[in-house]
A and B are shown apart, each in its own frame.
Chain A
């Protein structure tokens, strides 16, 4: 019984509370206003202003960094440039040293070759030795020291490529046109005259001390460039030489026949005859020309010589004016050539 009473009292209490709450709500409903506001402590400047300030600071930092970076980049560029200049100088110095080393090596190689040549018997000497009893005392080695290959080195602060000149060794020579002249001497009724040209080109290979004289090469001149000093005569000459059809006069060098005792290696001179094939007006004939060879102060080979020739052998008409002024069929052709060692094609 007590228990049921307590349950009823509980229910009644709850209902009472609910009723009291409902009553209170109706009483204070219009008197209560809820306002949400920040804490008093957080009051301060606008966030946008703060953000703007922050951006300003960041911008100043960036500007400082940019200027600092620019200065550093400039310093880096200058340093790189200085190093490049220094390296360029180093490379140039190395190149000069290499050139000097190369020259020394070439000189050593040349010396070695000369030593080998002096040690090895020459072919004719070997043949003689095979047929004759060996001499008790060996003959002295050929003296060619003064004429041995000349070596170039530095010259007035320039470093020169290694180039050698050897009178007694096979080398290729290139004509120096501005120092060459060829021509002919002719006789006529009125007076004697010469025809001359410097339009000469060519090259040849020669060992001036070679007893076999195995020279080879070619010399050409422009036939139309020959001048005699008289314009009318030059025009006639070009007609007679048919320079339009055969613009060049050619001489093919086939052999050099040294004169007896004509080669002096020490003095770098030679005398003898060049054998070859001369072509004038398209007609080719054998020709032998006595020549002399010497070496000038610039280490150029000077070849001079002359030989008689008949114009009729080359089907060149012999000029005649009115049957009175006649040119002789016999002329003398001559050469005055200078040639230098062709660098880069040494044999």
Chain B
């Protein structure tokens, strides 16, 4: 009887310890790497005066097939300059462009094109076009 109790003692201790140490198994739903962009409280931003440097943190839609990163530098005088890192048949390449922007109740218009939806959440902007959307985060001034 004493031998049995002695052999059970380590197991008993282990059992007690197990009760004190929480499991740290990654739950199945937490295995994926997620970005909390979807939780940002975006609201429409009509007539918002754009000003500052923005960097994309998420691109969705068909545009995401070739777009890897976008940078916009908006100026409050209605001009902007931008760069996009794209990936095509010939590999990755930057595109740069400069132009004008207007933001009205109809949406954001770049270079006089049809307006697209512009939304804002804190330091983030979301621009939604026909073939994709981009979420931009304000960056430190260059």
Contact = CB atoms under 8 A, between A and B. Distances in A.
Interface string A60-76: 00000000000000000
Contacts of A178: 33
Given A159-B95, A196-B26, A298-B64, A324 B10 contact: yes
A33 interface: no
A336 B33 CA distance: 8
A151 B11 CA distance: 62
Interface in A147-181: 150-153, 155-165, 178-181
Contacts of A302: 32
A152 B131 contact: yes
Interface in A238-296: none
A156 B116 contact: yes
A324 B32 contact: no
B89 interface: yes
A157 B31 contact: no
Given A150-B65, A156-B134, A192-B25, A343 B87 contact: yes
B76 interface: no
A163 B66 contact: yes
Interface size class of A (residues with CB under 8 A): 35 or more
Contact of B95 (A158, A185, A334): A158
A158 B33 CA distance: 29
B18 A193 contact: no
A161 B62 CA distance: 11
A198 B86 contact: no
A163 B68 CA distance: 13
B88 A298 contact: no
Given A156-B129, A343-B89, A183 B84 contact: no
A152 B65 contact: yes
B59 A298 contact: yes
A344 B89 contact: yes
Interface string B55-93: 000111111111100100000000000101011111100
Contacts of A196: 26
A155 B129 contact: yes
B43 interface: no
A299 B10 contact: no
Q: Which 5 A-B pairs have the closest CB atoms?
A: A161-B88, A298-B64, A297-B60, A163-B65, A155-B63
14 contacts: A152-B65, A152-B132, A155-B132, A158-B70, A161-B66, A162-B89, A163-B87, A165-B65, A181-B32, A192-B25, A196-B26, A298-B61, A334-B28, A343-B65
Given A152-B132, A299-B64, 5 more contacts: A160-B67, A163-B88, A183-B31, A191-B21, A193-B25
